[in-house]
């Protein structure tokens, strides 16, 4: 034996995912700005989480390590995220939950995404949609990230010269959260990677904004 001793990491440096509660919103950097964008300034973050927690349920998680937030996820009914109506996708399904934002490095975002999906499945919510930016603009989820997590593109559309994609995942069939191994970053089985042939920004070239993907172009 080498005689080396294993050094155990202090518990404060072990990552942990915690629900975002009204009393803790100020501890999550950039949360106020992101939420203000998607609510069009209608709610301060603390009031928004109070309202959702009382009438709907959990609406966000943050991943902590060493006393610092590494990333967070926000989601909820679309009526509480009115900015979604300004995108060129037409009316969204009333019963679908909207994922507004997930931030952090790739591993952090993946873990937060899975945590959100587990929460929603436990509440018998069937589907989740997200408005993603093909260019990876601030305050948006990058389209490529959701594609790599198995989300399916539904529509694309232009807004002020920028291309956005509406993506969807069905919790009953396309989301499989396998057995978690030990610790927070246990093994998580995610859906297959991006749909074959889809590259962000390529499916609406020369087509009117907001067409459903795969729809035939009626123009000559």
pLDDT in tens for each of the 220 residues of the chain?
455 555 555 555 788 999 999 999 999 999 999 999 999 999 999 999 999 999 999 999 999 998 899 999 999 999 999 999 999 998 788 888 999 999 999 999 999 999 999 999 999 998 999 999 999 999 999 999 999 999 999 999 999 999 999 999 988 754 444 433 233 344 444 443 344 455 566 555 434 444 445 443 333 3
What is the structure's pLDDT at 73? Answer: 98
What local confidence, expressed as pLDDT, does residue 15 receive? 85
Supply the pLDDT for residue 173.
52
Instruction: Give the Cβ contact number of residue 33 at 10 Å.
Output: 11
Query: Residue 194: CB partners within 8 Å, gap ≥ 6?
Result: 144, 147, 148
Rounded Cα distance, 105 and 198, in Å: 23
Please give the pLDDT value at position 172.
77
Q: What is the CA radius of gyration of the chain?
A: 19
pLDDT reported for residue 60: 98
| Predicted pLDDT of residue 184 | 32
How far apart are alpha carbons 178 and 170 in whole angstroms? 16
Q: What is the pLDDT of residue 3?
A: 55
List the chain domain ranges.
Answer: 12-170
pLDDT of residue 56: 96
Looking at residue 9, its pLDDT comes to 53
| Alpha helix (H) residue ranges in the chain | 31-38, 45-55, 106-122, 143-148
**Cβ contact 179:187 at 8 Å:** yes
pLDDT, residue 185, reads 40
CATH domain 12-170 topology:
Aminopeptidase (3.40.630)
Report pLDDT for 215.
47
């Amino acid at each position: 034996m080498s005689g080396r001793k294993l050094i155990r990491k202090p518990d404060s440096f072990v990552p942990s995912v915690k629900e975002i509660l009204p009393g803790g919103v100020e501890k999550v950097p950039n949360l106020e700005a992101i939420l203000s964008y998607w609510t069009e300034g209608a709610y301060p973050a603390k009031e928004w989480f109070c309202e959702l927690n009382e009438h709907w349920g959990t609406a966000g998680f943050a991943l902590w390590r060493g006393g610092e937030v590494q990333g967070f996820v926000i989601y909820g009914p679309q009526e509480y995220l009115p900015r979604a109506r300004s995108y060129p996708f037409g009316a969204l399904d009333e019963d679908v939950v909207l994922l507004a934002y997930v931030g952090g490095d790739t591993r952090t975002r993946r873990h937060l995404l899975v945590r959100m999906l587990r929460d929603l499945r436990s509440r018998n919510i069937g589907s989740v949609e997200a408005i993603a930016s093909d260019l990876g603009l601030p305050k948006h989820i990058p389209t490529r990230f959701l594609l790599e997590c198995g989300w399916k593109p539904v529509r694309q559309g232009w807004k002020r010269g920028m291309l956005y994609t509406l993506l969807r995942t069905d919790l009953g069939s396309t989301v499989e959260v396998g057995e978690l191994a030990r610790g927070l970053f246990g093994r998580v089985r995610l859906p297959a990677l991006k749909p074959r042939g889809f590259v962000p920004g390529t499916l609406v070239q020369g087509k009117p904004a907001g067409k459903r993907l795969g729809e035939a172009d009626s123009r000559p």
